[in-house]
A and B are shown apart, each in its own frame.
Chain A
Amino acid sequence: PANAATYDPQCFRAAAAAGATVQLPAKHGPYRIAFANGFIGNGWRVQMIQTLRAYAAQPDVAKQIKELRIVSVGTDVSAQIAAMDNFINAGFDAILIDANSPTAFKPVLRRAQKAGVLIVSFDNTFDRTGKETNLIQVNQDQRAMGQMMGDWLNSTMKEKKSVLEVRGVPGNSVDRDRHEGFRAAMAKDPGVQITEVVGNWDDGTGQKAVADALAVHGNFDGIYTQGGSIGVTHAVMDAGKGFIPIAGEGENGFRKLIVAHANDGLLGDSAGQSPALVAVALKAALAALDGRALPQEIAVPIPEANYKTLVAGKTYFPDVSDTFFAASDFPVCSINLGAKDILGASGK
């Protein structure tokens, strides 16, 4: 029932039909928005921050924002909690967060709630307790993503005897969710033997792990990798045993490889976490501050493209760096940022 009542359901789609909604007393803009980022030392995070700044600079968004303050605190959980406390103490209206831990923010969420500050978490979101009234979470459904990749592999693999699963960083909730979704999809066909290696979402690590697995286990019928897809693809190419279907992340370079080798048998599916999630999060924050009702758990559509559907300049960019994450826009949310907009954001 929630869906019908919430604002812009096209963009802000509830993750679960019966999920909770959030509606705050309307405030008057322009607003002071903060972003408590954690780690910044990888391409995804840098692109995400660039996307945020590019989106916030768009005229109709910019006029709703009085101040946008961004800090990156590194990987330490306590530092990120402190950054949020600082923002709360400094009287910001809403805080965006890409959390270092799914569980560590319960206390600071309570404090935010007391202070009437809206929290919008995205990408690495929280495990909710159910009591939060000031929290909106924006994410792609990680479990669904894993499941989607599993289903795609199931439908694409020629034979279905053995599959290689390349996992992410151990102990991380995204890794857990995608893994569970993937396994749920694969469980439909109990005959498949799944081999698991850890790739840490890193190209070098993933490539080594896949190369070793290929050398020791012979060939696989398909691979699902949560990240480091370029490295994984190179491992398959280096093994010289021919291409197999690979379901991977959203790196531009992976998509370029798929396009280049689709005819040789590299059947690839690419779906991944979009750095533009941050723009959806900002949009949601502004809407909620305006007093609109939003689902508490917003499931952003998963930007998926496979060897049949990839389009140059739209879902992949031949002239742009491999490390760019190609899924950079969400048309349903009127977030239409191309590679140019994002890469130009540092000009200011």
Chain B
Amino acid sequence: MSDPVPLLELRHVVKRYGAVTALADGNLACGRGSIHAVLGENGAGKSTLIKVISGVVQPDEGEMLLDGTPVRFSNPLDAQARGIVCVFQELSLIPDLSVADNIGLVSPPRRFGLIDDRAQRRRAEQLLARVGVEGIDPRARVRDLPLSRRQMVEIAKALGRDPKLLILDEATSALTSEDVGRLSDLLLRLRREGMCILYISHRMHEIRALADTCSVFTNGRHVASFETRAHGEDEIVRMMIGREVSQVFPPRPAAPATPLAPVLSTHDLGWEDRLRGISLAVAPGEILGLGGLDGQGQREFLLALFGGLGGCTGEIRVDGKPVTPGSPLAAKAAPLGIALIPEDRKTEGLMLAMSVADNLTAATLSRWRRGPLLDRARERSAVGDIIRRMQIKAVPSLPVATLSGGNQQKVVIGKWLLDEPRILLLCDPTRGIDVGTKQEIYRLLRELADGGCAILLYSTDYHELIGLCERVAIFYGGRVVRTLEGDGITEEAIIASALDIHPTTQPAA
């Protein structure tokens, strides 16, 4: 450590939740003017560490030093008063308030003791401009913004508090690469201005591009801190998960000699002003990627196929026959056999307080029936099978809330695997998931495709699209602007089409 007195130092911090030790030995030191990455598997204790630093929870043991003096925060407000501001993984925006209200939530400009709306809006505009998203109207309700915009607002809000220490806990998980680029520039600028930044992400390339130092955690313990350049990516991953991650993406099978008839196709599918005439087709065994900037209609497209949108125009065909799924119930039922892994697992994928087993069988209850009653024995053995098959680290009878994010995601996927879908729709399924788990999920998707399942995969991570998909449809403004195929699926091509730039060097596909 070059800095004699680090801005923040944690020594042997312990945090227990009842019988669970979330953080067993938390050590960390970070100085001004640096970006410090915290790495670890899902459930390694990163978020817990952050929560301790930012006053959300109080440590059971150990000490925390700010500028060399011991501190103890009893709530987030305490920490903020000392210049520690956190962008949480779970967004901390208030959906029903305006963007400006959110940015000035706790310390708005005031006149005569009352909030000065005009000054607050001006300040919001400045901060949004500083993060590079001038396009967001400060008067808009946060509820009306797409997730990626919200994350940018969240970052603007954090900056508005003049932090000495800025913490980003997977703050980029929903951002598009363009936003990430903008954010990186901003962070580097802030570092130059002397801010200390704690950065948590599962995206290795971002960490390599940004971080000066890294700290790795496993099972709640600090295992190593080092200069980012000191170790290669593979080494760091090995430190995190204790094994080699050789090949992230499974090999693609050879394309079939005669192209199979599509199992699912859309013709001129439209919905409100979010989907404009989308025609796509996917064949059994194929993984079709959906790419593009966030919020260009990819989610709506998947939702429309799954019966979640009313008033669609155009046509959806399954096995060549026109269908109009009116609800997820209809979409999953026999002739269609569609499953959707939703974007937000906490509100759309899981009943958090219910047990892992109940969640796993939630989509297939009618299968475990004998007469009018549920056959518990069959249900239990099915749950056991899927837990083993997907290597979910979970006790079936415990609430699914007690699982780490990665395992929660596996439960969501497992729930639909039990239904043996013919068509699987996935909406950003690896958001906030660690490398090891990601790899398992990739392998699983490939396995399913090989078994004849047609897969539509929307991802904000273009490495995933490149590594997994045979074809990638790029969305822009509710349309498919380009379809990339085979070797044409490159980073440059994806970015260029996502921005709706037509590179002259490459012929349109």
Q: Do A and B contact each other directly (Cβ–Cβ < 8 Å)? A: no
Taking beta carbons and an 8 Å cutoff, which residues of A are in contact with B? none
